[in-house]
Amino acid sequence: MKIVIISPFQNHLGRGIERFTYSIANVMAKQGHSVIIYAWKSKTKFNWGKKHDNVTLKLCPNFRYYQRSWIGYYYNYLLAKDNPDRVYLNFLYHGEINLNKKYKYYYVLNSPSSQVKVRYEFIKKHCNLFNDLTFVAVSEMVKREALAYINNIRCEVIYNGVDLDLFKPAYIKQEELEQSLKLITTAALVERKGVQYMIKALSSYNKLDQIKFNIYGSGPYVSELNRLISYYELSNYIIINEAIDNVEKVLAENDVFVLLSKGEAMPIAPIEAMASGLALLVSNYDPYPEFVDESIGFMVDRENVKQIHSVLDELLQKQKLNQLKTNARKASEKFSWEKAVQLYLSI
């Protein structure tokens, strides 16, 4: 089968949407399909690692002005040459409405409407232009919120996945084990990710000397997070690091993945952390209740400092922590990209 994935920012951004595209493209290619990704050219490039031989990246011209007006017609030029069996879309508002409507399209909803209402109103206005379109929501919550905007068009739910061979627990010798509880967050550093709530909770935690918290990421909220760390005098316990490409190596060196975010669709990072053998500490907002339970971690009210402190107390119990970590790896196995791709191709 020949498959095209239109992912405009694949060449220069390292967000969840682009990670999703890279992952399913490689797995589809491993299964013998020919996969072509259409992406915009960029001065900066993001290193996604090894690309399967059956995956081709075709870079499209990227001009400063009117990109969305004409890029759809350039896609049509490429589609006419490639003649794919199906086309996957990550967006509809970056020129995709000008696509030739004769192809079979699958639009993956990677964001909940509550976060990008204007974009969903755009979807509602234009989705009926397509003759053969199927929506795929990455969580039940995303589907539930999307129903008001997709005009009764078919919508399936397929959860995001993880590369279980790449993300796996590290073997650490007993003598190398640290006494401190190692927390990690990997995320775009924006306000809704909730890192500030963890910093504030740690500022009054009475066992802070047993905690190490590493944050990896970049974004507009970095200066505010650094201000909080300085204000609470936490620089010995909390470090903000730049975003990295080899996150799988860093995850496996930690104990607990923290993401007190609101407005996620189906975050990939916590699943990668589970596969790496980390317990989870997340917020109690959707979609976390769809895949997190007490056997692998904790969901908390991110503004409830006492609740976060109580969870940290439990995580400091080594026997409890080790059981959570073991369970997390086992739970991640139902989220393999191979299973996700089988579902995508079965639609």
User: Mean pLDDT for each consecutive 10-residue tract of the chain (347 residues)?
Assistant: 96 86 95 97 82 94 85 96 97 95 96 95 96 97 97 96 92 60 95 97 97 96 97 97 88 96 93 97 97 97 98 96 97 94 95
Look at residues 262, 261, 281, 267 and name the one whose alpha carbon lies nearest to residue 328: 281
Shared fold status for 2-161+336-346 and 174-334 = yes
Per-domain boundaries in the chain: 2-161+336-346, 174-334
pLDDT at 178 (0 to 100) = 63
Question: Model pTM greater than 0.85?
Answer: yes
pLDDT at 175 (0 to 100) = 45
Strands 155-157 and 86-89: unpaired
pLDDT at 171 (0 to 100) = 66
Alpha-carbon gap, residue 195 to 178, rounded angstroms: 24
Q: What share of the chain is helix, strand, coil (3-state, %, to 5)?
A: 40, 20, 40
Task: Name the residue with tokens 């996150």.
Answer: 247
pLDDT at 278 (0 to 100) = 98
> Under a CB-based contact definition with an 8 Å cutoff, are residues 261 and 267 in contact?
yes
pLDDT at 213 (0 to 100) = 98
Q: What fold does the segment set 2-161+336-346 form as a domain?
A: Rossmann fold (3.40.50)
Q: What fold does the segment set 174-334 form as a domain?
A: Rossmann fold (3.40.50)
